[in-house]
A and B are shown apart, each in its own frame.
Chain A
Amino acid sequence: MISYAFDYARPTTVEDALAQLDDDAKLLAGGHSLIPALKLRLSAPAKLVDIARIPALKGIRQDGNELVIGAATTHKEILSSDLIKEHLPMFAEGAALIGDPMIRYKGTIGGSIAHADPSADWPAMVIAAEGTVVVQSKSGTRSIAADDFFTGFYMTALEEGEIITEIRFPVPAEGTRMTYQKFTQPASRFAIVGCAAVRKPDGSARVAFTGVSDAAFRDTGVEEAVGDWSTAAIEAAAAKTAEGMELNVDHFASEAYRHHLARVYCKRALVAISE
C-alpha cells in the first residue's frame, strides 16, 4: 500500500501553515485516519501540511473560565492531563476508549473533529461539554459552537483554508457530573453508539451522541425529558433518544438495534451521573 505522490511541509507556526495551505493541500495532524486513507488511494492531495508539532496548537490550559485544548493535543495527552481529570473527567474517560495506545499517542482532538468520522468519540464529548471550535484562516479567526460544527457525514462547518487552532470549553461549575459511555465496534473500535452526558448543578442536562447518525448531534429531546433525574424520568428521557432521526446501518447494527443501543447507552450515561 502506497499513497499517490505528494509534497510535504512541516511549518512551525499557524501562519506558516496557512501560507502553505493551498487548494490541493491537506492538513496532517496525527495522521491515523488520513494516512490509511492515502495508502488506500481514497484521497489524492498534492501536499500535506504537517501541523502536529506547531507549538501554538498544542497543550491544555485554563484561560479564566475556560479550558483550552490545542487542536494538535493528542488523546494520550488529554487522558493524562490533571486539568482535564479535574474539570472534564469525561474527556479522560472517553479518550482512553479511542483506538488503542499507539493511536492515542498520535491521534489529536483537532484532527478527529475536523475529520468528523460519524463514529468518532470526540464529537459527542465536545458537543456535550459545550465546546467552541476556534479556527484560523488567512482572513482571521472565528469561533464555531460545537453544536453547529458537525454538519453531516464527514462534514463540518470548516471552510477551505481554515485550521482548527483550539477548542474551548466553559469550566464546569462545581458539582457538574459527566460521563462518556461507548458501545464499541469490535473491529475498528470506533463507537457503534457513544453517548456523552453532562449533568449541571441546576439539574439541567447536555446529551450528545456519536455513531448513531451521519454526524454527532446534541439531543435536546433527551435533555428536556430528563426532568428530576428520577428513574422514571431517565427511562422516559432515554426513550426519546434520536427521535425521528435517520440512523446509521452497517453489518454491526441495523437501524432498529442501533436505536435500541442508543437508548440503552443514553440510559446508562444518565444513570451514571444521576446522583
Chain B
Amino acid sequence: MSNKYIGQSVKRIEDKRFITGKGRYTDDIKLLGMTHAAFVRSPYAHAIVVSIDTSAAQDMPGVMAIFTGDDIKATGIVGVPTGWQVNFKNGDTMKEPPHPLLVATGSTVKHIGDPVAVIIAESYAAAVDAAEMVEVEWEDLPAVTDPMKATQEGATLVHEDAPGNLAFDWELGNPLSEVDQAISESAHVTSLEFVNQRLVPNAIEPRAYIGQYDEVSDKYTLYTSTQNPHLIRLLMCAFVLGIPEHKVRVLGPDVGGGFGSKIYHYTEEALVTWASKQINRPIKWTETRSEAFQLDAHGRDHVTKAEMGFDADGNIKALRIKTFANLGAYLSTFAPAVPTYLHGTLLQGLYTTPKIHIDLQAVFTHTVAVDAYRGAGRPEATYLLERLVDLAALEMGKDPIQLRKQNFIPAFDGVDQPGYQTQVALQYDSGNYHGVVDKAMEMLGYEEFRRMQKEASQNGKLLGVGFSTYIEACGIAPSAVVGALGARAGLYESAQVRVQPTGKVSVYSGSHSHGQGHETTFAQIVADKFGIPMEDVDIIHGDSDAVAFGMGTYGSRSLAVGGSAIVKSIDKVLEKGAKIAAHKLECSEDDLEFDEGKWTVKGTDKSISFGDVALTAYVPHVYPQGLEPGLDFASFYDPTNFTYPFGCHIAVVEVDKETGKVKLNRFIAVDDVGNVINPMIVDGQIHGGLAQGIGQALLEGAIYDENGQLINASYMDYAMPRADDLPMFELGRQETPCPHNPLGVKGAGEAGCIGSTPAVVNAVIDALWSGGHKVKDIMMPLTPERVWTAMQQ
C-alpha cells in the first residue's frame, strides 16, 4: 500500500490518444474485405408491410446481398429480448412481444425507422444508393404515441396480444388504503400532474458495428460501440442468434459516450453479425445522426399524478403516485426495470415519509423504445419529490430548505448506526443529508440572495433560486436482489489482476469505459495497493476474449462494483505474494507487513520487493512447497447492497420578463458520492451530469406528433446545451464512505443529472413568484414560450 495516487487528481492516461486523434472508435476500424450496410426503414410509425420488391436494388452496382424481414423470419430468428421481467400486479407474465431484426411482410412496423430490409454493398455509398431502390408497399395505420391515450378504451394496439397497450402494471410501497387514509387525514395536500418528458441521449458518437465471420475457426467477431461487450455477447448468442458464446468475440473499442443508450442490445448488432456469415465478408454499419434520433433508446417519458400530504407542522405524512411510463414499441434491454425498480424504489427520497404508494402502468406506444438514460428512473423520482416539496413550501408559506430539513432522515453511517429501511424496498447504506444542504447553502449565501432577489424584483427583474436534494441507488447491484426483482442476469462484476514476471500489472476489467477514465482511476487503485508506479499498470477492457466476463458500465457502477472486483483480486495477489515473500525471507507470513511496494519483516530492515516476489512466482526455484507458480487472480464481486449517493443542488436563474427566456446564472452542486479516488474525474462526471439535467429542464425534449413522426429528429430542431448556455459550475463535496464495499465508494456518473433538473425548474418558479406570478408548474423543457405563457396567466 502507498498513498501516492488514491485521492489525487491524476491526469488521465487515456487522454494522450484522444487529444492527438489516435482514439480508436468502431467507425475508425477498417477490416480487409469490409462491406457496408444500409437499412430500408419505415417512414411510418405504424403500417403493414404489404410487400417488398428488392429487384431494382439487387441490380445496383456494388450490391452484395439484400436481406428482408422474410429472410430473417425463415431462419427462425425471432428478435432481440429484454433483460428484465416485471410481472403484472395479478401475477400474470409481462407482455413481451418479439422485437424482430427486420419486420417481415404481413407484419407491422411499430415506430419511425423500424427496418424492413438491409442492403450490403462494397461501399457505403453503394449501399445507400441501393437502399433507395427497394420498393416497399405500406398500408399506413393510425398510431398512438401518448402513454395515457394508449391505455384508453379503443386505442390502437401496438401489439395485438397486449390489450390496453399494457406491458405490465405494477405497484410498490405501503398498502394503498393506508396511503389513501394518510392523505385524507393530511392538513395540507400538494398535488401536481406533470410530464417528465422524453429525452434523446445523443452520445456524440453514433452507434457503429462491424460483424466479421471467420470460416476456418467458425468464429464471429463483433466490434460494437457498447457500454457492455459481454452482456451483448450473452444476449446475442443465447437469446437471438443461438450461437455458442465461445464462438463469438465481442470487442468494444473506444466508445464516444453512451449515457445509457449504448447499454442495450440493438437489432443491428445481431444483424451484421449474422449477415457476415451469410456473405462471408465483414460488414460495417454506422448510424447517421438522423437514425440515432429515431433509433437509439430514448429516456424518461413519464406522465405522473403525484400527491404529498403534510400535517399542520409541515411533516410529510404520505405520498401517492400514479404514473404512466411510455416504454415505446418494443421492450429494450433494461426498459421494464427503469420506471419500477429504478424509480418506484427511490420515492422515499431523503424524507421520513411514513406512507408511500406508487401505481404504475407500463405502456406500449408507436415510438422508439424508452430505456435507461443517465440517471434512469432516479431523475424522475427526484423530480417528482423535489417539485412537490418545493411547491408545498410555496403553498404553505414555508421556507423550502427548512421544510426539507425538518423531514430529512437523520444522519447514519451504516456501521455503528444501521442502514435506513425505506417504505419502498431499499435500505440506504449511509447518509448525512443535512451536511450537503448546509454546505450548499453556505456556498449560495442564502440571505444575500434573498436580499438581491427583493432588490431585483423592485427593479422589475425576476431572479429565482431553486433547490433540490436527491438520493440515488447505484452501484447496481446485488444479484440476488435484482434477480428477485426480475433481472435475467446477475449484476456483479469481474476483474483479473495479472502480475507479470517483471512486476508490471495487467488488469482485465469487465467494466467498460465510454468516457469515465477507468484506465486512470483503476490504475490509481492498483498502483497504490501494490506500491508501484501507475506506469506499471495497464487496464484492459472491452474484449470478451481477453476479459473473463463483465456486466459493463452503467448505473454508476464501475468503481463501486468493478473497482471492488479489482480490489478482491489485488487482495488475493497480496495474500499469495506474502506466502512467497515469507518463504524468501524465511519468516512467517504473520511477521510481514506490506508497504510501499515491499514486504518487510516487522521490526527489521529485511524486505523483498513486489517485483522480486512477482519474478519468484514465475521462476519458482526457491518457492513454498505446494504453492502454484504464477501471480494472477480473477475475482467476481457481487455487492451486498446498492450504494446511495446523495446531494443538494441549487440553481440561480434570471427570467427575461418580456420573452420568458431563462438565464442560468449560477449552479451549485454539493454531492456526496462516498470516497473519491480521483477528484478531477469525479468533478468531470458531475459537470457532465449537470449539463444533461439542466438540458432537460430548459432545452431538451423529443416531440412525436400524433402520427408518430419524430418532428425534432436533428440538431437543427432538438435543442441541447452548448457552451454558452451554461455557467461555470460551483461544486462542493462531502464524503460519507459506503460501508459495504472495500473502497467506500458510491458512484458519481449520474448524480449531476439526477439533482439538477428540479433545481432549475424550482428556480424558475421561484423567480416568477418573486414577480407575483403564482405559477404552480411549467412543463419541461421550460422554453421561453412556456415561461412567458405562464406569466400571462
Is A–B contact present in the complex under a CB 8 A cutoff?
Answer: yes
A: which residues have CB within 8 A of B?
Answer: 1-2, 4-5, 40-41, 183, 185-188, 251-254, 257, 260-261, 264
Looking at A2, A186, A188, A253, the one whose CB has the most chain B CB atoms below 10 A away is A186
Complex contact A1–B288 (CB within 8 A): yes
Decide: A257 near B785, CB < 8 A? Known: A2-B124, A2-B125.
yes
Quick check: is B290 within 8 A (CB to CB) of the other chain?
Answer: yes
Instruction: Enumerate chain A residues within 8 angstroms of B716, measured Cβ to Cβ.
Output: 187-188
Decide: A264 near B717, CB < 8 A? Known: A2-B125, A187-B712, A252-B783.
no
Complex contact B719–A2 (CB within 8 A): no
Complex contact B290–A257 (CB within 8 A): no
> What does the 1/0 interface line of B698-727 toward A look like (CB < 8 Å)?
010001000000011001111110000100
Complex contact A186–B725 (CB within 8 A): yes
CA distance A218 to B712 in the complex (A): 30
Q: Count how many pairs of residues, one from A and one from B, have CB atoms less than 8 Å apart in the complex.
A: 43
Decide: A253 near B124, CB < 8 A? Known: A40-B290, A186-B699.
no
CA distance A77 to B501 in the complex (A): 63
Distance in angstroms from A102 CB to nearest chain B CB is 13
Q: Please name 9 further chain A to chain B contacts, defined as beta carbons within 8 Å, in addition to the given A2-B124, A183-B659, A251-B711, sorted by A numbering.
A: A2-B125, A183-B661, A187-B716, A251-B712, A252-B783, A252-B785, A254-B785, A257-B789, A261-B659
Complex contact A187–B717 (CB within 8 A): yes
> What does the 1/0 interface line of B770-788 toward A look like (CB < 8 Å)?
0000000000000111001
Residue of A41, A188, A251 touching B703 (CB-CB under 8 A): A251
Complex contact A187–B703 (CB within 8 A): no
Quick check: is B658 within 8 A (CB to CB) of the other chain?
Answer: yes
Complex contact A2–B785 (CB within 8 A): no
Complex contact A253–B125 (CB within 8 A): no
Instruction: Enumerate chain B residues within 8 angstroms of A183, measured Cβ to Cβ.
Output: 659, 661, 784
Find the A residue at minimum CB distance from B718.
A187
Find the B residue at minimum CB distance from A186.
B719
Find the A residue at minimum CB distance from B792.
A260
Complex contact A253–B785 (CB within 8 A): yes
Quick check: is B128 within 8 A (CB to CB) of the other chain?
Answer: yes
Instruction: Enumerate chain B residues within 8 angstroms of A40, measured Cβ to Cβ.
Output: 290
Instruction: Enumerate chain A residues within 8 angstroms of B783, measured Cβ to Cβ.
Output: 252
B: which residues have CB within 8 A of A?
Answer: 124-125, 128-129, 132, 288, 290, 658-659, 661, 699, 703, 711-712, 715-720, 725, 783-785, 788-789
Find the B residue at minimum CB distance from A39.
B288
Find the B residue at minimum CB distance from A185.
B719
Complex contact A187–B715 (CB within 8 A): yes
Complex contact B785–A264 (CB within 8 A): no
CA distance A201 to B717 in the complex (A): 41
CA distance A253 to B699 in the complex (A): 13
5 A-B pairs with C-beta separation under 8 A = A1-B290, A40-B290, A187-B720, A188-B716, A257-B785
Complex contact A260–B788 (CB within 8 A): yes
CA distance A41 to B133 in the complex (A): 13
Instruction: Enumerate chain B residues within 8 angstroms of A186, measured Cβ to Cβ.
Output: 699, 719, 725
CA distance A11 to B379 in the complex (A): 57
Decide: A188 near B717, CB < 8 A? Known: A252-B785, A257-B788.
yes
Distance in angstroms from B20 CB to nearest chain A CB is 21
Distance in angstroms from A77 CB to nearest chain B CB is 23
CA distance A4 to B290 in the complex (A): 17
Find the B residue at minimum CB distance from A265.
B659
Distance in angstroms from B692 CB to nearest chain A CB is 15
For the residues of A in contact with B, the DSSP-based class is: loop
Distance in angstroms from A171 CB to nearest chain B CB is 34
CA distance A187 to B129 in the complex (A): 30
Complex contact A264–B124 (CB within 8 A): no
Find the B residue at minimum CB distance from A40.
B290
Distance in angstroms from B279 CB to nearest chain A CB is 21
A-B pairs, top 5 by smallest CB distance, nearest first, are A186-B719, A187-B719, A188-B716, A257-B785, A264-B658
Find the A residue at minimum CB distance from B788.
A257
CA distance A40 to B132 in the complex (A): 12
CA distance A185 to B784 in the complex (A): 10
CA distance A41 to B783 in the complex (A): 31
CA distance A198 to B716 in the complex (A): 30
Instruction: Enumerate chain A residues within 8 angstroms of B290, measured Cβ to Cβ.
Output: 1, 40
CA distance A201 to B716 in the complex (A): 40
Instruction: Enumerate chain A residues within 8 angstroms of B125, measured Cβ to Cβ.
Output: 2
Complex contact B659–A251 (CB within 8 A): no
CA distance A74 to B109 in the complex (A): 46
Find the B residue at minimum CB distance from A268.
B658
Find the A residue at minimum CB distance from B705.
A251
CA distance A183 to B783 in the complex (A): 13
CA distance A264 to B784 in the complex (A): 13
Instruction: Enumerate chain B residues within 8 angstroms of A257, measured Cβ to Cβ.
Output: 784-785, 788-789
CA distance A40 to B788 in the complex (A): 35
CA distance A260 to B784 in the complex (A): 12
CA distance A41 to B43 in the complex (A): 15
Distance in angstroms from A149 CB to nearest chain B CB is 24
Instruction: Enumerate chain B residues within 8 angstroms of A253, measured Cβ to Cβ.
Output: 785
Instruction: Enumerate chain B residues within 8 angstroms of A260, measured Cβ to Cβ.
Output: 788
Complex contact B717–A2 (CB within 8 A): no
CA distance A185 to B783 in the complex (A): 10
Instruction: Enumerate chain B residues within 8 angstroms of A185, measured Cβ to Cβ.
Output: 719
Distance in angstroms from A108 CB to nearest chain B CB is 19
CA distance A261 to B788 in the complex (A): 10
CA distance A252 to B660 in the complex (A): 12
Find the B residue at minimum CB distance from A4.
B129
Distance in angstroms from A265 CB to nearest chain B CB is 9
Looking at B132, B703, B716, the one whose CB has the most chain A CB atoms below 10 A away is B716
Distance in angstroms from A262 CB to nearest chain B CB is 11
CA distance A264 to B699 in the complex (A): 22
Distance in angstroms from A42 CB to nearest chain B CB is 11
Instruction: Enumerate chain A residues within 8 angstroms of B288, measured Cβ to Cβ.
Output: 1
Distance in angstroms from A264 CB to nearest chain B CB is 5
Instruction: Enumerate chain A residues within 8 angstroms of B712, measured Cβ to Cβ.
Output: 187, 251
CA distance A183 to B784 in the complex (A): 10
Residue of B129, B659, B720, B725 touching A264 (CB-CB under 8 A): B659
Find the A residue at minimum CB distance from B703.
A251
Instruction: Enumerate chain B residues within 8 angstroms of A261, measured Cβ to Cβ.
Output: 659, 784
CA distance A185 to B785 in the complex (A): 12
Distance in angstroms from B674 CB to nearest chain A CB is 36
CA distance A259 to B699 in the complex (A): 21
Instruction: Enumerate chain A residues within 8 angstroms of B661, measured Cβ to Cβ.
Output: 183
Instruction: Enumerate chain B residues within 8 angstroms of A4, measured Cβ to Cβ.
Output: 129
Complex contact A251–B658 (CB within 8 A): no
Find the A residue at minimum CB distance from B712.
A251
Instruction: Enumerate chain A residues within 8 angstroms of B788, measured Cβ to Cβ.
Output: 257, 260
Distance in angstroms from A20 CB to nearest chain B CB is 24
Find the B residue at minimum CB distance from A267.
B658
Instruction: Enumerate chain B residues within 8 angstroms of A252, measured Cβ to Cβ.
Output: 783, 785
Instruction: Enumerate chain A residues within 8 angstroms of B784, measured Cβ to Cβ.
Output: 183, 257, 261
Distance in angstroms from B287 CB to nearest chain A CB is 10
Distance in angstroms from B660 CB to nearest chain A CB is 8
Find the A residue at minimum CB distance from B699.
A186
CA distance A254 to B789 in the complex (A): 11
CA distance A40 to B291 in the complex (A): 11
Find the B residue at minimum CB distance from A100.
B722
CA distance A141 to B546 in the complex (A): 70
CA distance A188 to B715 in the complex (A): 7
Instruction: Enumerate chain A residues within 8 angstroms of B132, measured Cβ to Cβ.
Output: 41
Find the A residue at minimum CB distance from B657.
A264
Complex contact B128–A2 (CB within 8 A): yes
Instruction: Enumerate chain B residues within 8 angstroms of A254, measured Cβ to Cβ.
Output: 785
Distance in angstroms from B327 CB to nearest chain A CB is 24
Instruction: Enumerate chain A residues within 8 angstroms of B720, measured Cβ to Cβ.
Output: 187
Find the B residue at minimum CB distance from A188.
B716
CA distance A50 to B297 in the complex (A): 40
Distance in angstroms from A182 CB to nearest chain B CB is 12
Instruction: Enumerate chain A residues within 8 angstroms of B711, measured Cβ to Cβ.
Output: 251
Looking at A251, A252, A254, A260, the one whose CB has the most chain B CB atoms below 10 A away is A251
Distance in angstroms from B725 CB to nearest chain A CB is 7
Distance in angstroms from A200 CB to nearest chain B CB is 27
Distance in angstroms from A148 CB to nearest chain B CB is 29
